[in-house]
Amino acid sequence: MPGRILILDSVAINRVVLRVKLAAACYETFQAETLAEALRVAKAARPDILLFSAAAPGVDPARLVSRFKTLMPGHIIAIMMIEAGSAPASPEAALAAGIDEVLPRTCEDAFLTARLRAVFRALEERRELQAHEDETRLLGFAEATAAAPGRRRVALVGSHVTGEPDRLSDAISGLADANIERRSAREALSASGRGADGYVISDAGLDGDGCRSLIADLRSQTQGREAAIIVLTDGPSAQERAAAALDMGADDVLLADASRAEIAIRVRRQLDRRASLRRQRLGLEAGMRAALTDPLTGLWNRRYALPRLGAWRASVAKNSRPLAVMIADIDRFKAVNDRFGHPFGDRVIAEVATCLSSAAGPESLVARLGGEEFLIAMQDTGSAEAIQAAEGLRRAVDACGVLADFGAEPEIVRVSVSIGCAILTVSDAADLDTGTLISRADDALYAAKDAGRGRVVCMSMADARDRAIRRLPAGTG
């Protein structure tokens, strides 16, 4: 089923007509004659949308919104109002009270179902992001920091870009935090043009195909994908064209009889909605990155590094290009902790991580495996290149130092790293899993430690299989 809709109307014939229309569109419907009955039905059925008539006696939009939020906390529901000749609230008053959508009293079937589809899309967006936010919060990740408030750019597109200011531009000009720009359709799509936070498109100067094409083109571009798109349509077949605009991806449509106040509310609402979605998306990205990075060093952690290394390992057989995997370990790190304390040791780990990451370059995979041990992987890198790269990493760490300024005599503490490197070639790729590959690099690391530390040992898979490795006593590093 596409969704569940509760119809609230005191007139039986209106409920029946709506039920038939919605059933034809495969919506599951419920009916109520009074607000009290609607609340009872909603509690049991938990509909996605409440569709109510403004003529229903005793139904005040603000009170309705409050009652339904109280009734179903945590359940996201959209509330839509159908205007009536004796409507107790104007469209702008209803929208300002929290009603999600206001439909005209004379509403064509195509426009009704297009509006419903648009509302369901917005609902699904809100619910999906809310679920991700709840999971992020449960895992203890920080929410995205709200950006400093700034003026938003609203582009007016269509026939009104020239000439005297009209009702549309007058209404939007009343938004205190918006800069209004007039653009032609070509300018709106120009790759060299600045993206806008919102596009308000008048289809008066565009034919139906032109308006739909403009919406589709905007949505296909990075600058328009996250922007609010509102279409103003007028004249014959206005509802039909508005329905087409909604189905092409417009966030909202404005009909000719919309007042200045309604225009301003609808535009601001869509700008706020898109800004909120953008903040939520950034918060999710930040939470995802927090789950995959090491908090001390900012490097990738094992959760990210091992699957990525696995993908790189699989590409060796496909592309016939070698893969170098290195394990770097800080030498005698226990002595640093014993002398200066663990907080200073953390500073050393963080500084070494920065040195390794900078020296390895952006194309390499650099991760902290745990403690003072790091993983570095480089694609398309054979033995000779790997030895050269590993020596560069080792020298970079040698050049780094951390100031210990809490004693009587401040000093620069320098550490060295031992690096073990394993080279995976196409001949070995089919037989070795990621764990074995890391184990071979670890064997090479122990060989570097055995040879005196502060050096690089690189092995092919055959070398690693044939070499007997003597493990160092625990804690000697």
The Cα 329–Cα 348 span in angstroms is 12
Tokens for 377, please give them. 């992987």
Number of domains in the chain: 3
In the 8-state DSSP scheme, what is residue 236? T
Whole-prediction pTM value?
A: 0.67
Domain presence at residue 124: no
Strand partners for 379: 323
Low-confidence residues of the chain, pLDDT below 70? 1, 86-89, 132-150, 159-167, 176, 191-193, 204-208, 407, 430, 460-477
| Whole-number pLDDT of residue 167 | 67
Q: Is 53 helix (H, G, I), strand (E, B) or coil?
A: strand
Tell me the DSSP string of 307-368.
HHHHHHHHHHHHHT--EEEEEEEETTHHHHHHHH-HHHHHHHHHHHHHHHHHHH-TTSEEEE
How buried is 75 (Cβ within 10 angstroms: 0-12 exposed, 13-18 middle, 19+ buried)? middle
For residues 38 and 6, what is the distance between their CA atoms, to the nearest angstrom?
8
| Predicted pLDDT of residue 186 | 83
Q: Tell me, what DSSP letter sits at residue 472?
A: P
SS3 120: helix
pLDDT at res. 126: 82
For residue 416, the model assigns a pLDDT of 96
Rounded CA-CA distance 96/93 in Å is 5
In this structure, the answer to whether residues 423 and 280 fall within a common structural domain is no
| Same-domain pairing of 187 and 284 | yes
Residues 6+ apart with CB under 8 A from 170: 260
Q: Are 235 and 269 in a shared domain?
A: yes
Same domain, 239 and 325: no
Question: 76 CB contacts (<8 Å, ≥6 apart)?
Answer: 123, 126, 127, 130
What is the C-alpha separation between 200 and 198, in angstroms, rounded? 7
Same domain, 313 and 459: yes
How far, in Å, CA of 375 to CA of 368, rounded? 6
Q: Name the pairing type of β-strands 198-202 and 228-232.
A: parallel
Q: Are residues 341 and 399 in the same domain?
A: yes
pLDDT for 148: 47
Distance, in Å, from the CA atom of 205 to the CA atom of 5, rounded to the nearest integer, reads: 37
Give yes or no: residues 249 and 351 share one domain.
no
Residue 456 lies in a domain: yes
Q: In what order do the strands lie in the sheet with 228-232?
A: 178-183, 152-157, 198-202, 228-232, 252-254
Q: What is the CATH number of the domain that holds 103?
A: 3.40.50.2300
Residue 291 is predicted with a pLDDT of 83
Alpha-carbon distances, residue 55 vs 11, 61, 79, 98 (angstroms): 9, 11, 15, 18
Q: Is residue 284 part of a domain?
A: yes
CA distance 395 to 422: 19
Evaluated on CA atoms 63, 64, 65, 70, the torsion sign reads positive
Whether residue 297 is contained in a domain is answered as no
Q: Are residues 166 and 285 in the same domain?
A: yes
Q: Is there a single domain that holds both residue 329 and residue 449? A: yes
- Which residue, of 107, 124, 151, is where some domain finishes? 107
Render the burial of 171-192: b for 16+ CB within 10 Å, e for the rest.
bbbebeebeebebebeebbeee
Contact 447, 334 (CB under 8 A): no
Say how many CA atoms lie within 13 Å of 58 toward its Cβ. 9
Q: Which amino acid appears at position 159 of this protein?
A: S
- Amino acid 157: pLDDT: 86
Domain that holds residue 182: 139-290
Element (H, E) at 81: strand 78-82
Check the CA dihedral 70-124-147-155 and report its sign. Answer: negative
**Same structural domain for residues 247 and 324?**
no
